[in-house]
Amino acid sequence: MRFARIAALALAATLPVAAQTLRVGLGEDPDVLDPSMARTFVGRIVFASLCDKLVDLDENMKIVPMLATSWEWSADGKALTMKLRPNVLFHDGEKLDAAAVKYSIERHKTIAGSNRKGELAPVTSVDVIDPLTVRFNLSGPFAPLIAVLTDRAGMIVSPKAAQALGEKFNTKPVCAGPFKFVERVAQDRIVVERFPQYWNKGAIHFDKVVYLPIVDATVRLANLKSGQLDFIERMAPSDVPAMKGDRRFRITQAVELGYQGITINISGNEHSQKNPLGKDARVREAFELSLDRDAIVQVAQDGEGLVGNQWVSPKNPWYAKSLPPPKRDVARAKALLKEAGVTNPSFTLMAGTTSDAQRVAQVVQAMAKDAGFDVKIQATEFATALKLADQGQFEAFVLAWSGRPDPDTNLYQFIFCKQPQNNAGYCNPQVDALLTQERVTNDAAARAKLFEQIAAQVHKDRPIIYLFHRHWISAYTAKLSGLKPVPDALVRLQDLKFN
């Protein structure tokens, strides 16, 4: 009898565990699955399972080892030496060594259509010191580089596969992540399966992950509730109260790395001249004072957001605490307008056709009215809006930025004189000098001080009025545990499992 029981237990122990599949609902279909060419946010969610990077981000925005175990800057800041993790294999069985890193970085920099060129611009060359040590040589000190390597620029691809497939690498990507690529049906699904030789295999508890793009938020949520999905990214804020009360599901809210704001055309061109905001900083100040940021977050995002006034959120370690968000002051706004000699200020606010952007625009419109502003909302489709913004053919634009780990990448390209994405047309030599300085020093305290100074000046000039930071809301079945709410809102598979 006892023998039978022991035999049964022994048998059960040898039986394979039922295949565990995680089904993730995405807000849109990713673009190309090639780390060099990809540019969508949802693509990064898929990469989190396919491609490991040199370094990663943790919940507290600290940079932690991944494929690289340690790193150090040279004294002059022009070289970054990284030590790689030993015994890491690509999905095709090849070894991940310094040569592979060199190949990947060069691929990011040179392949036609690569979106990583700008990110890796300061890197002039990569040297292989020994099979597990690699050195990045820079044209000049560039503090944000480490943060850049936590994203797609830091993803290492198998040289053998990349050489064989060339530009078609995205049809069968081969990296060093916990899962390997199985298949992709455009606009339908992306399937990946467990890579048995993953270096951190102990942390992986799924055999398969299926990513399903479902554009309509209502339908995506319906799928979660009916049990066809285990996880959805980007739930609508209005669904939060109902889901919070539902014991079958959990939600996490992470403050986004980016911001929601209004970019104002102060370039001096004809559109900015038409626009009272574009001509006089006092009018811009009056406009900002007419806005009640708390109410904007409340109404436009159902309270799911954090009020802000800088390019990083108040929860971000890089936020300048000496400059808190201003409160609404309609009286002062009216006084400023009078002082500037402007009666009946009116301008056109360009906003995307998504309901989020429209809601923000409408709330802003209604609020600014109290101070005397007549705001006309111009709903513009995304592709058209980008073109108009780049050509400076707008007066004000509700523009969001998805955000990057390093504050410089939330700021530089929008504020530095004549940068292609500086849609406001802002040009302030002192700010430019400060920006150049903060990029070249690795001393976090020194950088923080510089950012504080930049914040003060940008706040005075107001080329961009930063309004708030959204919550990235993910919802998942209560059967899942181990989710780490990192502010970049990616779904990391390590330590995630069904109870």
- Residues that bind another protein in the complex, under the rule CB under 8 A: 29, 31-32, 39-40, 112-115, 117-118, 167-168, 170-171, 185-188, 212-219, 222-223, 225-228, 236, 238-239, 241-242, 295, 298-299, 353-355, 358-359, 362-363, 365-366, 377, 379-387, 390, 401-402, 420-421
Least distance (Å) between residue 228 CB and another protein:
5
* Helical (H) or strand (E) element with 12: helix 2-14
Q: Which is nearer to another protein, 128 or 295 (CB)?
A: 295
Residue 497: phi and psi, rounded to 5, are -155, 165
Q: Which is nearer to another protein, 175 or 340 (CB)?
A: 175
Q: Which is nearer to another protein, 267 or 423 (CB)?
A: 423
Least distance (Å) between residue 393 CB and another protein:
11
**Cβ distance 412 to 439 under 8 Å?**
yes
Cα torsion 40, 42, 45, 47: sign: negative
Least distance (Å) between residue 334 CB and another protein:
20
Nearest-5° Cα angle at 186, 184 to 192: 20
**Cβ distance 246 to 447 under 8 Å?**
no
Q: Which is nearer to another protein, 71 or 373 (CB)?
A: 373
Cα separation, 230 vs 142, whole angstroms = 41
Cα separation, 56 vs 85, whole angstroms = 14
29-41 burial: b if 16+ Cβ within 10 Å, else e: bbebbbbbbbebb
Burial category of 449 from C-beta neighbours within 10 Å (exposed 0-12, middle 13-18, buried 19 and up)? middle
SS3 267: coil
Q: Which is nearer to another protein, 214 or 371 (CB)?
A: 214
Q: Which is nearer to another protein, 100 or 464 (CB)?
A: 464
User: How would you classify residue 130: left for phi > 0, otherwise alpha for psi between -120 and 50, otherwise beta?
Assistant: beta
Q: Which is nearer to another protein, 69 or 115 (CB)?
A: 115
Q: Which is nearer to another protein, 234 or 284 (CB)?
A: 234
Least distance (Å) between residue 31 CB and another protein:
5
**3-state DSSP percent of the chain in helix, strand and coil, to 5:** 35, 25, 40
Least distance (Å) between residue 67 CB and another protein:
23
Q: Which is nearer to another protein, 82 or 360 (CB)?
A: 360
Least distance (Å) between residue 224 CB and another protein:
9
Least distance (Å) between residue 299 CB and another protein:
6
Cα separation, 173 vs 267, whole angstroms = 43
Nearest-5° Cα angle at 403, 402 to 408: 145
Q: Which amino acid is at 302?
A: D
Least distance (Å) between residue 379 CB and another protein:
4
Tokens of residue 8, six digits = 């049964």
SS3 400: strand
**Cβ distance 26 to 212 under 8 Å?**
yes
Q: Which is nearer to another protein, 162 or 283 (CB)?
A: 162
Least distance (Å) between residue 240 CB and another protein:
10
Least distance (Å) between residue 300 CB and another protein:
8
